[in-house]
Amino acid sequence: MAAIDLTPDEQRHVRVALHALRFRFGTWASVADALHYRPESLKGPVRGRPITPTLAFRVARLADVGVDDLLAGRCQLPCPTCGHVAAPEEATDVQ
């Protein structure tokens, strides 16, 4: 069975959501814990390695958005404190 790959745009949309979740949860470790990932396993996808469909589904579930909306970039996840919406160019460091 062949792997299902996400398009570059879909991967970018998941990364934007990951950054928004980082703002929401405060740390990458907290995001990783909520996604049932090890923090070190989340570093690669955040820094540009391929996003797996499994990670995309987990991100959508955690963000409480539909997978289709997440992959299409139709969801915006603002920081609950300041309302900032993460952009793909922002914060690529994983702590």
CB-based contact 51:14 (threshold 8 Å): yes
On the CB side of 95, CA atoms within 13 Å amount to 8
pLDDT above 50 for 93: no
pLDDT above 50 for 41: yes
pTM, two decimal places: 0.80
- 69-91 pLDDT, tens per residue? 999 988 877 766 677 765 544 44
